[in-house]
C-alpha cells in the first residue's frame, strides 16, 4: 500500500487530540496487540505504556478474557439495567462488595469516568432531596479535571460555570 493510498484511506477519520494533518502525512498505525505490546504493520513491537489510555490494564488480547467475553456474548451481548437486569450484574456487584468496606455495599455500573462523576453528582443531589434538604445544590471541587475529553460535561471542575 502506498503512502498516498494510506493517507487517502485515513482521511475520513478525524482523530481525537491528534494533529490530523501531520498524522496523515506520516501515519503511525498499529495493527494488533498482545499483552503489553502493540504491533506496527512492519511487525515492530511497541510497549503500550498508557494501556490504551487506561482501558486495557490487564493487557491486550488475553485469551482468557477474550473467551469470557465471547461466552457472555453468546448468552447476552447487552442488557440495559432499566427495569430489567441480568444475573451476572448482581454476581459482579456482590463480588465487588467483597473488597469494599462494609458501609460501601452498593454498586452502580457506568461506562466512563465522566459518567461516574455525573452520576455521583446526581445521586448526591437526590440524597439531599430525600432528606428534605433540596436547597443543597452546590458542589465544591478543585478547578482542574483529569480528563478534558468531554468538554460538554460541566462537572464539578468549575469549567463553564
Q: What is the DSSP letter of 78?
A: -
pTM for this entry: 0.62
| pLDDT tens, position by position, 123-133 | 999 999 999 99
pLDDT at 38 over 90: yes
Q: How high is the pLDDT of residue 155?
A: 56
45-65 b/e with 16+ CB inside 10 Å = b?
A: eeebeeeeeeebeeebeeeee
pLDDT at 161 over 70: no
Contacts (Cβ under 8 Å, ≥6 apart) of 88: 72
Q: How high is the pLDDT of residue 65?
A: 95
| pLDDT tens, position by position, 67-122 | 999 999 999 988 888 889 989 899 999 999 999 999 999 999 988 888 999 999 99
The arithmetic mean of pLDDT across residues 51-61, rounded, is 87
The arithmetic mean of pLDDT across residues 35-48, rounded, is 95
Contacts (Cβ under 8 Å, ≥6 apart) of 52: 33, 60
Amino acid at each position: 500500500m502506498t503512502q498516498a493510498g494510506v493517507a487517502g484511506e485515513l482521511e475520513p477519520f478525524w482523530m481525537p487530540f491528534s494533529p490530523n494533518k501531520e498524522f496523515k502525512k506520516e501515519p503511525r498505525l498499529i495493527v494488533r496487540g498482545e499483552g503489553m505490546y502493540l504491533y506496527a504493520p512492519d511487525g515492530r513491537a511497541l510497549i503500550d505504556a498508557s494501556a490504551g489510555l487506561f482501558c486495557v490494564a490487564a493487557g491486550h488480547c488475553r485469551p482468557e478474557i477474550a473467551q469470557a467475553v465471547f461466552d457472555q456474548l453468546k448468552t447476552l451481548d447487552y442488557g440495559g439495567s432499566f427495569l430489567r437486569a441480568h444475573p451476572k450484574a448482581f454476581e459482579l456487584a456482590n463480588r465487588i462488595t467483597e473488597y469494599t468496606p462494609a458501609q460501601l455495599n452498593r454498586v452502580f455500573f457506568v461506562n466512563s469516568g465522566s459518567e461516574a462523576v455525573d452520576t455521583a453528582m446526581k445521586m448526591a443531589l437526590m440524597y439531599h432531596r430525600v432528606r428534605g434538604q433540596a436547597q443543597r445544590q452546590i458542589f465544591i471541587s478543585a478547578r482542574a479535571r483529569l480528563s478534558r475529553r468531554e468538554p460538554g460535561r460541566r462537572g464539578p471542575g468549575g469549567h463553564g460555570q
